[in-house]
Structure 1
């Protein structure tokens, strides 16, 4: 490996962690396109629970992580990349699928499944100011978003997730998306990187390309877009 390649971000190893949807559906096409421009850069994707992202960066297990907003320590820096609205996903024949948008009160008596404790806490926090008998309470909490989407696809329940999971929910499961308003709640997605540890030029270059790509409107809506040419 030539020193000039390393210095110019054209060679090296990049380790990045992300939760399931981002790790499986958003990062792989970016890695493929990026490494076409940088064939000597090797990018390793590690799928991880949302709760583990910051720790993996702090402990040096990965160079970068991307995922929902999480508290950080003095060892990890967090940069907001984009915001994605929380939306309701349901089967096309679900009664509430006929409405173009929903209010939180519409969900009160509807079966709802959430994915992971992170989602469960987010759903609870959204309506925390309501009286107890008006709060949104999921009937079940599953470990993986794929399970929640599969349950929703069979009409057994609906699920609340950020709009960016549409890359799975719409294309793989045939679910329909409905906005939930008053208020509309946003999910912030962040890039995490170490503070006390210097990452490689290759990781710096990939972080820059990743940030540019996922900030596009198409990714926020859960659709693929072409990668911009890598920068030197």
Structure 2
């Protein structure tokens, strides 16, 4: 049975207006075209839907029953199309993001606020977590996008480059490092160092060993979150290192940040999403806005 949408709309218009002439006018077709669509529909169904006479038109018993079903089908279809249009036009939608805790307390709120100003009907749901969890959340399908550093072996994810930034030394304004014109990694090793646990310190040690033959990175303190490291540095318990996107938080703790030379160790961050899976329109728009925001920052 090959019932078409045009046939259903023609029948619905006829039932609503009670007139072939008025139904044809509402659909902007000729009366003969409307009659043809009704006849085609009746032929497809094998029943008479409309009882015709020279003076009047009325629905048959089956026609009245079919009209109730047709009205619901068309209403559901129109609602579905309207819903898709609203998603495309960013009048509604949900964006689920996973980002490291440090980024979630610095860069991402700025981006969410700017995006929300242009798209107030989009619901942004941020999951702040450990760095590695931001990527695993995408793998599990619990978020649309995750923001995290470069990692190998992520064959199930698409990686969209976001930024490539150098490490900066972070210390109080009264610290001896503030008097140096150029700060080297070897300079940092002379003072108590506060670093992050896990891959942060492991990868940093490997980079320093490969690029500058700086052996044995031995932090005095290892903590889970950079906000803790900054707080400890502010209290005079040591110095730390972070990326420039966290400068707003560095300043909030009353600390200074300077680029570390010899070598310049950098970190690449990506926007991760599921490979071969299209992002919802709202998530795609958010990613585009995120890139635009990063391009306009003064720390990049």
TM-score range for the pair, normalised by the shorter chain length: 0.7 to 0.9
TM-score scaled by length of structure 1: 0.86
For residues 89-108 of structure 1, what are the alpha-carbon distances to aligned partners after superposition, in whole Å with 9 as ceiling and x for unaligned? 00111111211321122122
For residues 137-160 of structure 1, what are the alpha-carbon distances to aligned partners after superposition, in whole Å with 9 as ceiling and x for unaligned? 211210111110011112211001
Distance 2:194 2:145 in 1: 30
Query: Which of the pair has more CA radius of gyration?
Result: 2
Query: In the TM superposition, what are the counterparts of 1:85-104 in structure 2 within 5 Å?
Result: 85-104=166-185
Query: In the TM superposition, what are the counterparts of 1:191-202 in structure 2 within 5 Å?
Result: 191-202=271-282
Q: Find the partner of 1:173 among 253, 256, 259.
A: 253
Structure 1 position 3, deviation (Å): 2.5
Distance 1:195 1:131 in 2: 38
Native 8 Å contact 2:90 2:121 kept in 1:
no
TM-score scaled by length of structure 2: 0.68
Note if 1:142 corresponds to 2:223.
yes
CA RMSD of aligned residues (A): 1.9
Native 8 Å contact 2:170 2:256 kept in 1:
yes
Note if 1:28 corresponds to 2:109.
yes
Structure 1 position 69, deviation (Å): 2.1
Note if 1:84 corresponds to 2:174.
no
Distance 1:123 1:85 in 2: 12
Gaps of 5+ in 1: 221-232
Native 8 Å contact 2:244 2:299 kept in 1:
no
Name the SS for the 1:127 alignment partner: helix
Structure 1 position 72, deviation (Å): 4.8
Runs of 4+ off more than 4 Å: none
Q: Which residue of structure 2 aligns with residue 227 of structure 1?
A: none
Native 8 Å contact 2:233 2:240 kept in 1:
yes
Moved more, 145-154 or 97-106: 97-106
Q: Which residue of structure 2 aligns with residue 48 of structure 1?
A: 129
Distance 1:208 1:160 in 2: 29
Distance 2:121 2:97 in 1: 17
Name the SS for the 1:198 alignment partner: coil
Structure 1 position 219, deviation (Å): 4.9
Native 8 Å contact 2:135 2:146 kept in 1:
yes
Distance 2:268 2:225 in 1: 19
Structure 1 position 209, deviation (Å): 0.9
How many residues were matched structurally?
218
Higher relative contact order (CA 8 A, sep 6+): 1
For residues 85-142 of structure 1, what are the alpha-carbon distances to aligned partners after superposition, in whole Å with 9 as ceiling and x for unaligned? 101100111111211321122122211010232321232123224667x433211210
Native 8 Å contact 2:166 2:267 kept in 1:
yes
Hey, which of these two has a bigger chunk of helix by percent?
2
